[in-house]
A = this chain, B = another copy of it.
Amino acid sequence: MPNPIGIGQVGIGYWGKNLLRNFQALPDAEVVMACDQNADVLDRVARQYPTLATTSRYEDLLESAAVDAVVIATETPQHFAMAEQALGAGKHVFVEKPMAQTVQEAERLVALAEDHDRRLMVGHLLLYHPAFRYVENLIRDGTLGDVHYLYSMRVNLGIIRQRENALESLAPHDLSIALQFIDAAPVAVSAQGQAYLQPDVEDVAFATVYFDDGALAHLHTSWLDPHKIRKVTVVGSQQMAVIDDVASNEKVRLYDKGVDVQPGEMRYADYAEAMTVRTGDIHIPRIDMQEPLRVECQHFLDCIRSGTTPRSDGRNGLAVVKLLDAAQRSLARNGSTVELA
Identify the interface centre among A280, A285, A335: most chain B CB within 10 Å of its CB: A335
CA gap between A279 and B13 in the complex, in Å? 23
Q: Which of B216, B256, B336 contacts A204, CB < 8 Å? A: B216
Interface residues of A in 253-296 (CB under 8 A from B): 253, 255-257, 259, 261, 263, 266, 268-271, 274-275, 277, 279-286
CA gap between A53 and B149 in the complex, in Å? 48
The verdict on A198 contacting B240 (CB below 8 Å), with A269-B13, A271-B158, A280-B286 known, is no
In the complex, whether A157 has a CB less than 8 A from a CB of chain B is: yes
Asked if B224 and A233 make an inter-chain contact with CB atoms under 8 angstroms apart, the answer reads no
What would be 11 A-B contacts, judged by CB atoms less than 8 Å apart?
Answer: A75-B268, A159-B270, A160-B275, A162-B266, A163-B268, A190-B336, A204-B235, A225-B240, A226-B241, A280-B286, A281-B286
Asked if B235 and A277 make an inter-chain contact with CB atoms under 8 angstroms apart, the answer reads no
* A324 → chain B closest CB, angstroms: 17
Interface residues of A in 293-337 (CB under 8 A from B): 333-337
Residue of B nearest to A249 (CB): B228
Interface residues of A in 173-207 (CB under 8 A from B): 188, 190, 192-194, 196-198, 203-204, 206
Asked if B257 and A226 make an inter-chain contact with CB atoms under 8 angstroms apart, the answer reads yes
Residue of B nearest to A241 (CB): B226
In the complex, whether A92 has a CB less than 8 A from a CB of chain B is: no
Report B-chain residues with C-beta under 8 Å of the C-beta of A284.
281-284
Asked if A277 and B157 make an inter-chain contact with CB atoms under 8 angstroms apart, the answer reads yes
* A78 → chain B closest CB, angstroms: 10
The verdict on A224 contacting B216 (CB below 8 Å), with A14-B270, A192-B190 known, is no
The verdict on A192 contacting B216 (CB below 8 Å), with A257-B157, A261-B197 known, is yes
Asked if A149 and B216 make an inter-chain contact with CB atoms under 8 angstroms apart, the answer reads no
CA gap between A18 and B231 in the complex, in Å? 32
In the complex, whether A142 has a CB less than 8 A from a CB of chain B is: no
CA gap between A6 and B75 in the complex, in Å? 43
Q: Which of B158, B208, B281, B285 contacts A285, CB < 8 Å? A: B281
In the complex, whether A3 has a CB less than 8 A from a CB of chain B is: no
Asked if B277 and A162 make an inter-chain contact with CB atoms under 8 angstroms apart, the answer reads no
Q: How many copies does the complex hold?
A: 4
Asked if B218 and A227 make an inter-chain contact with CB atoms under 8 angstroms apart, the answer reads no
In the complex, whether A133 has a CB less than 8 A from a CB of chain B is: no
CA gap between A160 and B273 in the complex, in Å? 10
The verdict on A281 contacting B280 (CB below 8 Å), with A197-B259, A233-B227, A259-B197 known, is no
Asked if B206 and A226 make an inter-chain contact with CB atoms under 8 angstroms apart, the answer reads no
Asked if A162 and B259 make an inter-chain contact with CB atoms under 8 angstroms apart, the answer reads no
The verdict on A283 contacting B283 (CB below 8 Å), with A208-B206, A216-B192, A334-B188 known, is yes
In the complex, whether A148 has a CB less than 8 A from a CB of chain B is: yes
Q: Which of B163, B250, B259 contacts A224, CB < 8 Å? A: B259
Interface residues of A in 228-258 (CB under 8 A from B): 233, 235, 237, 240-242, 248, 250, 253, 255-257
| Those 10 A-B pairs whose CB atoms lie nearest each other, nearest first | A282-B284, A226-B240, A226-B255, A192-B208, A190-B335, A159-B271, A336-B336, A160-B271, A335-B337, A148-B196
Interface string of A131-149 (1 = CB under 8 A from B): 0000000000000000011
